[in-house]
């Protein structure tokens, strides 16, 4: 699976890579190999920070600041912590990224895991449904999940 993804990224046009990079405020790589790959894309090097996935400390001191403080505080306060990314996108009434299922999951698990948390990075692209996004954003507090859920725009 990883090699299939890697080959798809390698075959993307430079224009698509630059476009994806320009849409990001920050890129987080889990190692120098990935960071070097980002560096080969125009405009990405200065946005790239290295934060190892499992082995602290960061490879460079300045990389510690790549994650905003509010996200760090949320992550430190929750266990288990689920990380996800996706858009409020419906296809024939089905949430393609599973935001709705993740809400159900956290709602069901919080009795057994009172510190469970979700950090969800919202993607923004053509096809998003603003009315569905509003429904999801309203549903979090309606279910009492606001202390368990952090959306990152």
pLDDT category at 126 given cuts 50, 70, 90 is low
Distance CA 113, CA 104 (A): 14
Residue 2: its pLDDT value, please? 47
* Angle at CA of residue 104, ends 121 and 136, nearest 5°: 50
Mean predicted lDDT score pLDDT of the chain: 81
Rounded Cα distance between 51 and 62, Å, is: 10
By DSSP bridging, strand 27-29 and strand 48-50 are parallel
Q: How confident is the model at residue 68 (pLDDT cuts 50, 70, 90)?
A: confident
Task: List Cβ<8 Å contacts ≥24 apart for 89-92.
Answer: 89/127, 89/128, 89/129, 89/132, 90/129, 90/132
pLDDT at 113: 94
Provide the pLDDT for residue 105: 93
Using 50, 70 and 90 to split pLDDT, how confident is the model at 28?
confident
Give 57 or 26, the one with higher predicted confidence: 26
What are the tens digits of pLDDT across the range 102-124? 999 999 999 999 999 999 888 77
pLDDT exceeds cutoff 90 at 59: no
> Going by C-beta distance under 8 Å and a sequence separation of 6 or more, which residues neighbour residue 101?
95
The edge-to-edge listing of strands for the beta sheet with 81-86 is 81-86, 117-122, 149-152
């Amino acid at each position: 699976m990883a090699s299939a993804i890697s080959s798809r990224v390698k075959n993307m046009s430079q224009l698509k890579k630059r476009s994806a990079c320009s849409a990001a405020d920050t890129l987080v790589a889990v190692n120098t190999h990935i960071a070097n790959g980002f560096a080969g894309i125009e405009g990405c090097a200065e946005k790239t920070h290295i934060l190892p996935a499992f082995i602290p400390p960061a490879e460079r001191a300045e990389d510690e600041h790549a994650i905003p403080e509010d996200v760090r505080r949320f992550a430190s306060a929750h266990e288990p912590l689920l990380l996800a990314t996706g858009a409020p996108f419906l296809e024939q009434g089905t949430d393609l990224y599973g935001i709705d299922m993740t809400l159900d999951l956290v709602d069901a698990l919080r009795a057994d895991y009172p510190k469970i948390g979700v950090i969800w990075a919202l993607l923004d692209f053509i096809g998003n449904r603003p009315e569905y996004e509003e429904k999801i954003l309203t549903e979090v507090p309606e279910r009492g999940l606001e202390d368990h859920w952090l959306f990152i725009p």
